[in-house]
Chain A
């Protein structure tokens, strides 16, 4: 059973701080990883995807992948109240396999 694990949170950070969201996966053969953001009552929105070990930056977001440790993370710099949402980690394994999501709360 291919699994993706995330801490459900909630993770609370003050406005302007760095939010760090983490994810582990069970299938060593997984190649690609996705971070989605989902606001309450809305559908998931793709934030970033990463395939290679190391860091990938896009604006305030940085995705980090460590295939040896089977670990993916998402850093959100200068967190804003509008970043408050559930963040879903997923890997592509004959269909996206999602973690349960981490609730992020950014307090102003």
Chain B
């Protein structure tokens, strides 16, 4: 059974650019959530999608956005990149909305903003 797939694995972008990251959940999983991990702030929740709708949102500026497609695949977008956006971005999928099913993480996308 394939796990959560994130692409690309690594990205280098210039300040001011925008970036799109992709996440394919485990087959059958309908909930996809995104997290940012940095050495200083740890793992922080960005947002969660279920049935193509954003269900929850963390405390991040509007430059961070996402969407989910009908096949449950999800993308997140960061516009007007800042140096502080350099981080590991992790996607997690769950069978359904809510915590009763646990969340499985992908390998992440390492974003470096220069």
Contacts and interface: CB of A to CB of B under 8 A. Distances in A.
A31 B99 contact: yes
B42 A43 contact: no
Interface in A14-41: 31-32, 34, 36
Nearest to B42: A100
A88 B43 contact: yes
A51 B99 CA distance: 9
A32 to B, nearest CB: 4
B103 A96 contact: yes
A101 B42 contact: yes
A44 B105 contact: yes
Contact of A95 (B33, B106, B107, B108): B33
A34 B42 contact: no
B56 A95 contact: yes
B58 interface: yes
Q: How large is the interface on A (under 10, 10 to 19, 20 to 34, 35 or more residues)?
A: 20 to 34
Nearest to B44: A98
B100 A95 contact: no
Contact of A97 (B45, B103, B107): B45
Nearest to B55: A94
A13 to B, nearest CB: 23
Given A43-B108, A44-B90, A101-B42, A96 B35 contact: yes
Contacts of A42: 107
A43 B90 contact: yes
Contacts of A44: 43, 90, 105
A32 B90 contact: no
A102 to B, nearest CB: 12
A43 B90 CA distance: 8
Interface string B79-114: 000000000001010000011101111111000000
A96 B45 contact: yes
A92 interface: yes
A54 B100 CA distance: 17
Interface in A27-81: 31-32, 34, 36, 42-46, 49, 51
